[in-house]
Each structure stands twice: as C-alpha cells, then as structure tokens.
C-alpha cells in the first residue's frame, strides 16, 4: 500500500473555496468539496476552515471516528507535512474571535444541593453560546416558566402515622426496571458542555440504574455511545433513541436499522417540532462571537449567522421533515419493529389518537417551552387527559417532560398517573461536571423523591394515587370540551365598499 502523500501547508491552503475545499483533521487532509453542501449544519463552518487545520473545532464536537465512518478513504488526499507549519498556519481563521475566558470556576460538586445550584453554576461557567442554546426558550418564556410554576400550584395531602422505615423508589419503563421513575431527555450536541458529551451521560445513567434517551442530533454516533457502556448481555442497553424524521427518508431508515442492530428496542418519535420556535436568547448570541467549533452552523460564504441571528436551535432542525403526519406511522412501523413512543403530545385528543393507533407510549411535553410559547404546561396536559381521555392511562405508558426540578415534582406526576418523568436541562447542567455530575444529580433526585414519599406517607410508588394531591388551584384551567366552550368560528367577511 502506497504511503500517504505529504502535503505542505501552502499546497493545502490553495484549496479554500466551495468548489475546491480541503481541510486538515488530526494530520489527515480531506477533500470536503462534495460533502460540504450536505453537512447537516450547513457548509458555512467547513468553509471557514477551507484550506486550513480544522482539528480543534472538529474534535470539540465530533467523535474521532465520525469522519472515517462518514466519508470513504478516497477522500483522504494526503497527510500534513508538519515541517511546513508556520506561525500564520496555526493562527485562527480571520473570522474567529479569541475563545471566551471563563471568569468563574466551578465550585466543588459536593457543595451543590439542588438542580437550581447546577443551573446557577452552568450559567456562570458554560461558554455563553452553550448557555444560550440550552437555557433559551420560545419568545416570552411563558410556557417555559409555567412548566415549573404549575408544579408549585399543586399541593400534597399527606397521610400520617404510616410505617415508612423502608422505601422503594424503583419503577418500570417499557418493561425495563429503573431505580427511580426518571429518564434523561434527548438533547442535541451534549459535547458542547463536556468533551464526553452523551457518553458521559450514558455512563452516569447506567451507573445509577436509569435510562437515557439519545437524540438524533447527538454529538457522537449512537454506536459510540452504546460501546461506552458496560456490557448488558442479558438485556438491552439502558438507552432509548429519539427520532427526528429526515426530509430524506432513506437517511432515517438507515439510522433506524443501525439503532436496532445495537439492541435498542424503543424509539421516541418527536412530533412537536416540525420546526423550531423563536428562541431569542439563542439568536442574540451570534455564533461568530462565541467560536465553539460548533458543527451545526448555517450560511454559505459567511460561516455562521444569517439575518435572523445565530440560533442553534433553529439551525440544527433544518433537516426535519415538516410534512410528517399520522399517515406516516405505517411507514415507521415498516422500518421499526420495536416500541414506539410519541414525544410532544399536548392535548387529550392527540393522546386518544395515539392510543387508537396502537402506540406504546406518549410523552406529554411542550419541548421545554422552546417551540410554541403559551402552549400548556406539562402537568396541566396530564390533568387534561384525566378529564377528557381517561382511557389512555390503561392503553399507554404516559411520561411527563417539562419543569421537573424536585423530587416532589416527580411524586406529584406519579400520583396523577404518569408512568415516569423526563428531565432535560438538569442533566445538561450536571454534565458540566462529567459523569460524576450526572451520578450526583440522580442521587440528589432519588433522595428528594424518597423523602417526599416518606412525608406523604407511602413506601413504594405503586401506593401513589390522585388522592394524595390537591389540584384545585389549576383545575379551572383544564379544558372541558374538545372545542372552545362558547366561542365559535365565524364565516363572516367584510364586503368592500364601492
């Protein structure tokens, strides 16, 4: 086999346009001319490093193996001749600003007492663009705030003089036993927070006996995340997979085959995000001001921003099929023989439809308040199901996602019929400390849940029931009918005056 051709920095620098585009990654010179327009995040970030060394931004986000798995070896045109490296070669691209220097150090993990502490540390120590991406929500943040505040409007009705010496927080999710009824919600590009990204979350969750749902937009290929776990020879890996259906259906079909081959048997089909909401905090921090090596960037010529801003949330969803509807479920079943959960149900009518379609579960979710502002908070959707579609509780596993920050929140959801709850931002903020932070968060939530169970007067979650909570403060907000109780659509139109 011939030795790779040595290429000087001067030779590489000549290939710096969209029609002739080379980059260097870890010493290998790649011809990206054909691939760059198909890059999921747009050609912009690749153009920024055209004719240059892109190792640093690539490795901050991507798994080392991704290029070799994505492109054929014919795209390797040679190796970098390190003897030709000069001072100008190692300088950042002209558009790149100096990396932000963090002013605050993370406090010791043991000093954190709550999910709010994790959030406070994340705000002070994450790169500004990373914080903006994960913390942002749609427009006026009404739904984002309501997801949490509505839990505070539900009161417990504790029972006393119960023997609560021994308590069991375990549950089952899709037939898999978990140590407590929570999951890690899918989230894009966790490597923005920590170099190990989703792999660190997966290891932390496995260590503590809960399940992670991996995003289609994860930083690592799903096979890399699975291989980072301890083997589970007699059971599936403790992972679910979240699916965004691509406009190019064959891409989704191939992805589903790969997921199945890895032993994962449950997918969560996201249905509340045919496109992203307007997340102003994310848009305001323009990506060329916070060069994080983020791969999901837009624009041709200008590498990062467009006239709307620098919103990662908007850009990462550009591949999603906006035409997906109920009639596509047969297609999905044709390519996936395992369990299917719909993620993003916001009303009783759609929950009933999911049950009629024979699905296995639903996630009551408004996408963390990140899409349609003033959509209902998750706990209110749960009450909507009780009043208007009570049959779904015996037909589906029902998960609640949005606003969970305390063990008391978990218990309230379980009392009101949820199978389990899902946490998103708290896991991302805990990832700031790596796998150890993830494990610490899970222990924290388990301890809070156990204490709440004891003080309410139960020793296992199967003893939880609606009589243990008082929902009077929000009951009047639960819809009583499918339509509006009195307003009607009118057909009246104004005639033009002659």
- Residue closest to 39 by CA, chosen among 18, 13, 15, 64: 18
- Residue closest to 216 by CA, chosen among 248, 177, 181, 256: 256
CA distance 197 to 191: 4
Annotated catalytic, 367?
yes
Pick the catalytic residue: 39, 62, 367, 391?
367
Q: Burial level of 229, CB count in 10 A (0-12/13-18/19+)?
A: middle
Do the beta carbons of residue 238 and residue 212 sit within 8 Å?
A: yes
Residue 309 main-chain phi, psi, to 5 deg: 130, -150
Q: Which structure tokens are listed for 277?
A: 């909401």
> Tokens 């406070």 map to which residue?
120
Residue 8 main-chain phi, psi, to 5 deg: -80, 160
CA distance 246 to 221: 16
The secondary structure of 286-351 as a DSSP string is -GGGS----S----SSSSS-BTTB--HHHHTTTTB-TT--GGGHHHHHHH--SEEEEEEE-SHHHH
SS3 sequence of 215-253:
CCCCCCCHHHHHHCCCCCCCCCCCEEEEECCECCHHHHH
Q: Which structure tokens are listed for 232?
A: 């589970």
CA distance 242 to 54: 29
Do the beta carbons of residue 73 and residue 27 sit within 8 Å?
A: no
3-state secondary structure of 404: coil
- Bridge partner residues of 78 (DSSP): 29
Which residues are known to be catalytic?
Answer: 367
């Amino acid at each position: 086999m011939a030795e790779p051709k040595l290429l000087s920095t001067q030779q590489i620098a000549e290939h710096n346009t969209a029609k002739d585009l080379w980059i260097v990654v870890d010493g290998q010179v790649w011809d990206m001319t054909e691939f760059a327009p198909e890059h999921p995040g747009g050609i912009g970030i690749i153009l920024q490093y055209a004719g240059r060394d892109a190792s640093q931004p690539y490795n901050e986000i991507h798994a080392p193996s991704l290029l070799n798995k994505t492109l054929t070896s014919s795209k390797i045109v040679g190796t970098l001749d390190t003897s030709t490296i000069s001072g100008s070669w190692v300088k950042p691209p002209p558009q790149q600003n100096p990396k932000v220097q963090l002013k605050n150090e993370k406090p010791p993990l043991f000093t954190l007492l709550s999910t709010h502490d994790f959030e406070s540390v994340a705000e002070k120590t994450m790169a500004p663009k990373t914080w903006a991406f994960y913390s942002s929500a749609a427009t006026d943040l009404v739904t984002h705030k309501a997801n949490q505040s509505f839990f505070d409007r539900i009161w417990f009705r504790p029972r006393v003089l119960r023997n609560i010496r021994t308590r069991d927080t375990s549950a089952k999710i899709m037939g898999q036993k978990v140590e407590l009824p929570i999951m890690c919600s899918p989230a894009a590009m966790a490597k923005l927070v920590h170099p190990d990204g989703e792999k660190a979350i997966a290891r932390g969750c496995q260590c503590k006996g809960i399940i992670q749902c991996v995003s289609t937009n994860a930083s690592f290929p799903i096979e890399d995340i699975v291989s980072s776990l301890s083997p589970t020879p007699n059971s599936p890996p403790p992972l679910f997979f979240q699916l965004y259906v691509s406009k190019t259906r064959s891409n989704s079909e191939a992805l589903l085959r790969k997921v199945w081959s890895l032993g994962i048997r449950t997918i969560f089909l996201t249905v509340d995000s045919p496109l992203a909401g307007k997340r102003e905090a994310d848009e305001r921090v323009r990506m060329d001001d916070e060069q994080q090596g983020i791969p999901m960037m837009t624009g041709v010529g200008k590498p990062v921003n467009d006239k709307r801003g620098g919103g990662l949330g908007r850009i990462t969803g550009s591949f999603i099929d906006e035409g997906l509807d109920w009639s596509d479920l047969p297609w999905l079943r044709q390519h996936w023989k395992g369990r299917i959960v719909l993620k993003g149900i916001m009303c009783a009518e759609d929950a009933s439809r999911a049950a009629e379609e024979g699905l296995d579960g639903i996630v009551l979710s408004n996408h963390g308040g990140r899409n349609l502002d003033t959509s209902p908070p998750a706990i209110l959707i749960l009450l909507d199901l009780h009043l208007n579609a009570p049959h779904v509780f015996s037909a589906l596993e029902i998960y609640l996602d949005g606003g969970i920050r305390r063990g008391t929140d978990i218990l309230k959801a379980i009392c009101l019929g949820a199978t389990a709850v899902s946490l998103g931002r708290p896991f991302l903020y805990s990832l700031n400390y790596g796998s150890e932070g993830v494990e610490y968060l899970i222990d924290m939530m388990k301890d809070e849940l156990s204490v709440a169970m004891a003080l309410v007067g139960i020793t296992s979650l199967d003893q939880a029931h609606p009589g243990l909570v008082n929902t009077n403060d929000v009951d009047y907000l639960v819809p009583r009918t499918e339509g509006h109780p009195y307003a009607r659509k009118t057909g009246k139109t104004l005639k033009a005056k002659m």
